[in-house]
Amino acid sequence: MFALKIAIGPFFKVKKLRNPKLHSTFEQGRSSTTRLRTPVSTPSTFERVVKEVEASKIAVVDFIMRVFFNCVFVIAWRYIVQMAYALVGPGNDASVALLSTFHNVVQNAPTIDGVIDKLLENKLITSGRSVFVHLPPSLEDRLSFVHALQKAGFTNIEGISPISLNVTSTLMGVHLSMGDGKEVFVLRTDDSCFKIDVILRCDNRWKIVEEGLEFNQVKVRYPLVRDLVVSRRFRTKSAVHEAFLETVSGNINVHFSHNDYPDMAKLYVLNQTNGTPMNAFLSSDPLPLILSSFKASEVLPYCGIVLTVKFGEESRPLSLTHRVPPFTLTDSFDIGTAKTVEIHGNLYKANKPAILLKTFTFEGDVHRTVVLTVDVDKTLLPQIKLTTVDTDVVAKEAENRRVEKEEKQREAASLANLFDKLKSLSQRKIAVIEDGNHVCLYSGTKMEVVIDEADSPNLAVAALLEVAPPESVACVYVTGFKDDLFSNRESTVKELQAAGYTNIESVEELRMDLFSNVSNLTLNCAIGEPVFVGSPFHFPLDEFRVTVLLKRDKGYQVVNTDLDLPIAISHYPSVRNVVISKETPDSERAEIVKLLPGRKLHNYRDIDFNYSEDFLQKRINEDAFNGNDILPFCYCDVVIGFGDNSKVIHLADKTLPFTTEKEVDVGDASEVTVTATSRVGRIYRRLKTLKFKNKALRKVYVTVHVDKLLLPKVTIRTASTYKPPQLESDSPPKTVLTSTPANCASTDLTSSSSKRLPQPEAKITVTAKDGTVEESATATDKSASRDAADVTDRLGTNLQKELLELNLDPPPTTILTFTSDNRVLIEADETYTGDTEVLAYVRLQSGKVPKVGRQAFDALKKHPCSVFYDIPRLLATDFDPDRPDPSWGFKTTRDADGKVLVHGGDGITTFPIVLFGSVVMGTLKYIKQHLKSEV
């Protein structure tokens, strides 16, 4: 109102306004007229009014301009203030950036709360604005800092990883011209232990792959990397640092950075906010140039946290270091009947114990499967959620049945229209029943839903019968039943057979998945050649699984499923083709290429909702498969149980239809049960039980027949009864060890550059009691005996006499066969209950007992220099130690006597016969634990 009065006031007071100058002139004119009596022209009243109005207009325009510029200034100031950012850390320091210029708020505050109080007192920062946190070195302090900021009302919080800043600082000023997927070593400048971080070029930036490794470790794990980046300040620290650089520079390119900018955290904030101080452009400040170098050397955010999931007596690790935040990671865990799940966390390779992050509790003794969801946002801290996806709660099942029953009438009404529509179909038809309640009918290129979510297989088959009688249906495929083993499939098949459908085939969903993966690829495989098909889910590489296919005349046979990639490679080293998802991240793809050098990678599309369309459509149209079909298989095993023992018959690697029979010594067990189990080992179904009236020692025949219905039919019959064997002191049971090409992936145990004749089969018999043995008269065995004796003299290793002598009679009851793909095959009598094969890997450490088998194999990835394998090749008479396998983590030479020496880490030196003896003794120990008779 005040402004309005000022603007329009002159118009209401125009008659009262006088111009002093005009008035003075007028009065002077009057007086001069009077004196001189000469006429003078005076301004009229109208002219005076016009001049007053013009002056008033100027005043109004001036006022409006002042108001306008004041408003612009207020709006601009508010916008500038909105661009203010706070930087907290390192330590209890805080500063505010306005117009990309930093102003200190507090330094060395006593507590975190003191830092936050100072921030809130600052006029430029409110709880809604951005806060960058230079994260502390411990996980507990990081959580405390971020939670305190969130409690104070700050919502836009972004964490700054110290290791990302350190690596970026070292990279600045170094020109590394390399494309995506290339790896580089970065030497830490603030560590006297010479720790090295491994980074990967990714989208014109850098991703941290591993941190805090020793130089010897990175050279073994990343043998192809040839670049090391070091800060120039590292060289001048001490003579020790200079000597270290001279050591590594012999086989690697060393690059020195020249970055001396102290405030890397502030550079990070300016880079994230696209800001540059205004005075940097008005002076000689080199900051714009430094920011440009920062962008070229920027390291992506890094979480660096490893979680541990604990339930019952078990604990499972879950690493968050492989992905770039923000990201979401999910994993499922079968926790059994555990009532508590604890999530612990720690920084990768931290010296402090892990801290408890979250605890979840359950009520009732119920078997559960839970899904853990971890969200890592820009705070670089995990947000953890746990949901239950699978329980045995009877009340929940009853509620589901009640709801389904209420919907039955509505479904029946909608089915009437579908039945009328599908009755007119007269072409060749194929029906698909999924999970016993969802029915589809395929005709040509059309697909019609017959019924969805039927209450039972009986109603589903009745709906199919209404629209497609048996004579009009060429085949009925029964699919689904992920959480069931045979029961629903069996009831569905029986309903179809009762309705008159004769051509029925059950299909495992895995078969359709694999068909979708490989049917459109050109692999050019020879008959019997293996192919790896990777899992479609994008886990870290240590959780990557493969299915192994073997090429046959009419397609591919599934021989193994859910194998770890390293185990699959050790069992099938001749694989040439690997099929993975086209959505596999570049970092994981690079790791797969590194593990499978020389193999060809093929991409398949991720399976979508209609993944079964290709599989079914080709069968409807009777198209040619061109040898790319997936042959039918039964995705389960049969377990024969008797007393406390059991035997397993594997079915997944057999081509349907088949009949297999196994003779089993059940001893004096009162009953024999045959149970089917899924390959994941979580679902069971008892198939047959045979009880005996009289107690006796007996053997039984178990026969399993599987046809295209995938419903194993089992028969059990008594083969014979027998009396307890009388042990004779002069003929104890024996054990034979062989090294033979049988069951081996390749018979050539020498280096790839040489050809040799097959070696004679070497057998060693070990007695159980007196330890007396005789030596075979073969040259190979005599040489081995001399090597063993020499090892005993040199290393003080007291090998058993069983390895130094041979006795080939009487016939053995336990046979060990060494294969060229690092396995030991075990053939034992009926009392043996262990595995039929073990891994032939040995780990040697100074002052420690050798580790054999699975323990040694598991250590191969992290400690390749201490794990030894390919023992048959090392024992070959024509093995050339100067031409070892490049993938070995150990080295081979000859001593002064021309004998082969094997060198590992920590100064370990041994002979191949010692490695052979370690595997033999470890295997014998394992057999004794699972064998009722003596070895």
* Mean pLDDT score, 658-665: 91
Angle, CA of 772, 777 and 779, to the nearest 5°: 125
Give pLDDT tens digits for 545-558.
Answer: 888 999 888 888 88
Report CA-CA distances (Å) from 471 to 148, 426, 466, 468, 502: 73, 11, 12, 8, 9
Tell me which of 396, 426, 444 is where a domain ends. 396
Q: Structural domain of residue 694, as residue ranges? A: 647-705
- Burial class from Cβ neighbours inside 10 Å (0-12, 13-18, 19+) for residue 283 reads exposed
CB 381 within 8 A of CB 142: yes
For the beta sheet containing 183-187, the strands, ordered from the edge strand earlier in sequence to the opposite edge, are: 205-213, 196-202, 183-187, 227-231, 253-257
Judge whether 663 lies within some domain: yes
Question: Helix 287-296 vs helix 264-272: angle between axes, to the nearest 10 degrees?
Answer: 80
- Do 312 and 361 lie in a common domain? yes
What six digits make up the tokens of 347? 């920084």
- Do 424 and 528 lie in a common domain? yes
pLDDT surpassing 60 at residue 638: yes
What six digits make up the tokens of 472? 């009009």
Is 787 in a helix, a strand, or coil? helix
What six digits make up the tokens of 493? 């098949």
Q: Going by C-beta distance under 8 Å and a sequence separation of 6 or more, which residues neighbour residue 625?
A: 519, 554, 555, 618
CATH number for the domain harbouring residue 349: 2.60.34.10
Give pLDDT tens digits for 379-426.
Answer: 999 999 998 875 555 456 556 777 777 777 677 766 655 555 444 444
Judge whether 466 lies within some domain: yes
Determine the Cα–Cα distance for residues 653 and 556; give it in Å rounded to an integer.
Answer: 11
Judge whether 640 lies within some domain: no
Choose among 794, 689, 781: nearest CA to 738: 781
Query: What's the total number of domains in the chain?
Result: 6
Determine the Cα–Cα distance for residues 341 and 312; give it in Å rounded to an integer.
Answer: 8
Average pLDDT over the chain reads: 75
Question: What are 868's strand-pairing partners?
Answer: 842
Give exposure, 898-912, as e/b (b: 16+ Cβ within 10 Å).
ebbebebbeebebbb
pLDDT number for residue 780:
36
Question: Helix 2-12 vs helix 45-82: angle between axes, to the nearest 10 degrees?
Answer: 170
Question: Where are the alpha helices (H) located in 665-795, listed in sequence order?
Answer: 779-795
* Mean pLDDT score, 8-30: 44
Give pLDDT tens digits for 97-142.
Answer: 776 677 788 888 888 888 888 888 876 666 556 788 888 888 998 8
pLDDT number for residue 419:
55
Judge whether 225 lies within some domain: no
Between these two residues, 541 and 90, which has the higher pLDDT value?
A: 90
* Mean pLDDT score, 511-530: 84
The position carrying tokens 């005043």 is 59
- Do 381 and 405 lie in a common domain? no
Give pLDDT tens digits for 585-603.
Answer: 888 888 888 888 888 888 8
pLDDT number for residue 335:
87
CB 334 within 8 A of CB 354: no
Question: Where are the alpha helices (H) located in 431-543, listed in sequence order?
Answer: 457-467, 487-499, 509-518
pLDDT number for residue 302:
92
Between these two residues, 695 and 786, which has the higher pLDDT value?
A: 695
User: How is the chain split among helix, strand and coil, in percent rounded to 5?
Assistant: 30, 30, 40
Angle, CA of 253, 257 and 263, to the nearest 5°: 150
Between these two residues, 705 and 421, which has the higher pLDDT value?
A: 705
Angle, CA of 319, 320 and 321, to the nearest 5°: 95
Judge whether 874 lies within some domain: no
Tell me which of 828, 860, 886 is where a domain ends. 828
Determine the Cα–Cα distance for residues 768 and 426; give it in Å rounded to an integer.
Answer: 74
pLDDT number for residue 785:
38
Between these two residues, 786 and 853, which has the higher pLDDT value?
A: 853
- Do 107 and 201 lie in a common domain? no
- Do 437 and 562 lie in a common domain? yes
CB 700 within 8 A of CB 664: yes
What six digits make up the tokens of 915? 């490695």
Would you place residue 237 in the very low, low, confident or very high pLDDT band (cuts 50, 70, 90)? low
Determine the Cα–Cα distance for residues 238 and 229; give it in Å rounded to an integer.
Answer: 18
pLDDT surpassing 50 at residue 567: yes
Give pLDDT tens digits for 598-632.
Answer: 888 888 865 554 556 667 766 665 555 677 788 88
Choose among 884, 880, 857, 855: nearest CA to 869: 857
pLDDT number for residue 632:
86
pLDDT surpassing 60 at residue 775: no
What six digits make up the tokens of 10? 């002159």
Pairing of strands 314-319, 227-231: unpaired
Determine the Cα–Cα distance for residues 428 and 461; give it in Å rounded to an integer.
Answer: 18
Determine the Cα–Cα distance for residues 820 and 823; give it in Å rounded to an integer.
Answer: 7
Determine the Cα–Cα distance for residues 549 and 558; give it in Å rounded to an integer.
Answer: 5
pLDDT number for residue 877:
81
Determine the Cα–Cα distance for residues 497 and 501; give it in Å rounded to an integer.
Answer: 5
- Do 521 and 556 lie in a common domain? yes
Judge whether 751 lies within some domain: no
* Mean pLDDT score, 862-883: 88
Q: Which amino acid is at 31?
A: S
Q: Going by C-beta distance under 8 Å and a sequence separation of 6 or more, which residues neighbour residue 122?
A: 86, 96, 105
Give pLDDT tens digits for 314-359.
Answer: 898 999 988 889 999 998 888 888 889 999 999 988 888 899 999 9
pLDDT surpassing 60 at residue 300: yes
CB 63 within 8 A of CB 5: no
pLDDT number for residue 763:
39
What six digits make up the tokens of 74? 């207020």
Q: Going by C-beta distance under 8 Å and a sequence separation of 6 or more, which residues neighbour residue 587?
A: 200, 202, 207, 209, 322
- Do 354 and 465 lie in a common domain? no
Would you place residue 260 in the very low, low, confident or very high pLDDT band (cuts 50, 70, 90)? low
Choose among 527, 539, 526: nearest CA to 587: 539
- Burial class from Cβ neighbours inside 10 Å (0-12, 13-18, 19+) for residue 127 reads middle
Percent of the chain with pLDDT over 90: 14
Question: What are 98's strand-pairing partners?
Answer: 101
pLDDT number for residue 722:
86
Helix (H) or strand (E) holding 584: none
pLDDT number for residue 885:
83
CB atoms within 10 A of CB 731: 11
What six digits make up the tokens of 181? 């997927």
What six digits make up the tokens of 913? 């016969």
pLDDT number for residue 483:
57
The answer to whether the Cα torsion of 569, 573, 576, 577 is positive or negative is negative
- Do 428 and 566 lie in a common domain? yes
Would you place residue 235 in the very low, low, confident or very high pLDDT band (cuts 50, 70, 90)? low
pLDDT number for residue 290:
63
Would you place residue 758 in the very low, low, confident or very high pLDDT band (cuts 50, 70, 90)? very low
Lowest mean pLDDT across 141-155, 180-194, 882-896:
180-194
- Do 701 and 581 lie in a common domain? no
What six digits make up the tokens of 22? 């005009």
CB 718 within 8 A of CB 676: no
Report CA-CA distances (Å) from 909 to 221, 300, 858, 879, 893: 22, 43, 21, 18, 10
Would you place residue 733 in the very low, low, confident or very high pLDDT band (cuts 50, 70, 90)? very low
CB 451 within 8 A of CB 418: yes
- Do 346 and 466 lie in a common domain? no
**Residue 673 backbone phi and psi in degrees, to 5:** -115, 145
Give pLDDT tens digits for 884-931.
Answer: 887 888 999 988 878 899 999 888 889 899 899 889 988 888 888 887
pLDDT surpassing 60 at residue 575: yes
Judge whether 343 lies within some domain: yes
Judge whether 571 lies within some domain: yes
CB 536 within 8 A of CB 579: no
What six digits make up the tokens of 751? 């280096």
- Do 818 and 672 lie in a common domain? no
pLDDT surpassing 60 at residue 155: yes
pLDDT number for residue 74:
56
Lowest mean pLDDT across 359-368, 583-592, 665-674:
583-592
* Mean pLDDT score, 698-713: 91
pLDDT surpassing 50 at residue 843: yes
Would you place residue 18 in the very low, low, confident or very high pLDDT band (cuts 50, 70, 90)? very low
- Do 369 and 460 lie in a common domain? no
Is 808 in a helix, a strand, or coil? coil
Tell me which of 690, 705, 720 is where a domain ends. 705
Q: Which amino acid is at 924?
A: L
pLDDT number for residue 832:
82
The answer to pTM > 0.75 is no
